[in-house]
Amino acid sequence: MLKSIEGNFDHPKVNQLLEKHFIELRAASPEGSTHVLDIPGLKDPSIKFWSLWEDNHLMGCGALKFLDKDHGEFKSIRVHDDFRGKGNGIKVINDLISKAINLKIKRLSIETGAGKFFAPARKLFNYSGFKPCPPFAHYKEDINSLYFTKHLNNS
């Protein structure tokens, strides 16, 4: 049974997953092109964070940053290594999309890397209905970044 928990940054398993996420993303992105938030950054009041659990096993996590009342950005989406390559990324994305719909978000956007390391994420976003878009919010054109958006049907 899947369970989603909001804001449990201090759980040791969540903290460990986020630390691994930060280290890997910073290593895979050139300086100046790394947009991953650390735990204090994820605690910003404009951001909601959830971890997704299957029984007592951490499946993954993700955050939603409010860019305005109708537009949100996904941040720090990560699937735990024990759940990778088994179709669980879509469960994490769908849970986050459901949360965004409940929060009345009409458009979701995401920035991800352009390199090979980020290919699985780009495949997942494409599968989830995200389409390429120009940079949004504070982002600028960057050969190391790609941008995607999805309009939600929650009128």
Over residues 12-27, the pLDDT tens digits come to: 999 899 888 887 877 7
Range of the domain at 88: 2-151
How many CA atoms lie within 13 Å of 152's alpha carbon, on the beta-carbon side? 21
- Rounded mean pLDDT of the chain? 91
Residues 6+ apart with CB under 8 A from 90: 124, 127, 128
Percentage above 70 pLDDT, the chain: 95
Written as six digits, the tokens of 125 are 């976003």
CATH number of the domain to which 52 belongs: 3.40.630.30
**Residue 19 gets which letter from DSSP?**
H
The pLDDT tens digits of the residues spanning 91-111 come to 999 999 999 999 999 999 999
> What are the E-state strand segments in 2-115?
2-6, 47-54, 57-66, 71-79, 107-113
Q: Is residue 143's pLDDT more than 60?
A: yes
Give tens-digit pLDDT for 37-76: 778 888 899 999 999 999 999 999 999 999 999 999 999 9
Q: Beta strand 57-66 with 47-54: parallel, antiparallel or unpaired? A: antiparallel
What pLDDT, on a 0 to 100 scale, did the predictor assign at position 8?
86
| Number of domains within the chain | 1
Backbone angles phi, psi at 151, to 5 degrees: -90, 135
**Is the per-residue pLDDT at 33 higher than 70?**
no
